[in-house]
Amino acid sequence: MIQKNKEKRGFLYGIGVGPGDPELLTIKAHRLINECDILAYPAPEVGEGLALEIVRPLLKNVTEFLPLRLPIAVSPFPAQRAYDQAALLLEVQLEAGKTVAVICEGDPFFYGSFMYLFERLSERFKTKIVPGVSSPMAGAAVLKTPLVSRNEVLTILPGPLEEADLEQRLLNTDAAVIMKVGRHLPKIRRVLRHLRLEHCAHYVEHATMHNQQIIPIENLEAQNVPYFSMILVRKIKSQLTSGVV
């Protein structure tokens, strides 16, 4: 059962809800979400957001919801102020002795919005992190392609990196997952083309969801793609040293 704090203050859970398919929620995440007093979720300025969409089919006992208006991708409102305001909303509930579950896509501590709330609240309130299936794992699964094996090195790269930095890091790894593609797609494609790695790179969008797309980079025609898309690049070092490229 949920750890109901006997003290005045409540308990804060950061719960990863996985990449999109509700059935990929862990048993623990499912239980805690349905036992909490308040379900808090990150949401854009308008609408509900992906995290709540993922768990909605599994909700049974939740009666109180708390939307946290946080910056999603490239947002017009200041990030730090938004997280400060969200932390204050949670603080009110925690001071009242409530058990609050904050859900987020993927894993809370892997590019997760919850980490910024954790920084603001963890010293004053009891917290627990429930890991979730992260998008690189989901991407490899839907591609049916292992990311790395044996002593190979996997590198996670954020799309907003500078072009030269992105290129150098790709040169020094066996496989990579490039996250947060969005408006950075043209830059990423230039780097892959320059390194002659396009043929071993795949674009993945909405992995495990009904609108999932998997496209070899060489065949990708779109110029504008969602922020939460990714590109998986496999066997980089062997491709660069074998004379294949």
Read off the pLDDT of residues 168-221 as tens digits, 9 standing for 90 and up: 999 999 999 999 999 999 999 999 999 999 999 999 999 999 999 999 999 998
**pLDDT recorded at residue 5:** 44
What is the torsional sign of CA 19, 25, 62, 101? negative
Q: Which CATH superfamily is domain 136-241 in?
A: Tetrapyrrole methylase, C-terminal domain (3.30.950.10)
With beta carbons less than 8 A apart as the criterion, state whether 186 and 158 touch: no
Nearest 10 degrees: Cα torsion 170, 141, 42, 39: -150
At CA 109, angle to CA 106 and CA 111, rounded to 5? 70
Using the CB atoms, write b or e for 142-165: b if 16+ within 10 Å.
beeeebbeeebeebebebebeeee
Burial of 112 (0-12, 13-18, 19+ CB in 10 A): buried
**pLDDT recorded at residue 241:** 64
**pLDDT recorded at residue 236:** 76
Q: What count of Cα atoms within 13 Å lies in the side-chain half-sphere of residue 147?
A: 18
**pLDDT recorded at residue 6:** 40
Query: Do 11-133 and 136-241 come out as alike in CATH topology?
Result: no
**pLDDT recorded at residue 213:** 96
Domain boundaries, the chain: 11-133, 136-241
The predicted model scores a pTM of: 0.89
**pLDDT recorded at residue 200:** 94
- Report H helices in the chain: 27-35, 50-55, 79-95, 114-121, 135-143, 163-171, 185-194, 236-241
**pLDDT recorded at residue 77:** 52
What is the bridge-based pairing of β-strands 154-158 and 175-179?
A: parallel
**pLDDT recorded at residue 73:** 61
**pLDDT recorded at residue 245:** 42
Residue 120 CA to residue 112 CA, distance in Å, equals 14
**pLDDT recorded at residue 2:** 53
Q: What share of the chain is helix, strand, coil (3-state, %, to 5)?
A: 35, 20, 40
Q: Which CATH superfamily is domain 11-133 in?
A: Tetrapyrrole methylase, N-terminal domain (3.40.1010.10)
Low-confidence ranges of the chain (pLDDT < 50): 4-6, 76, 244-245
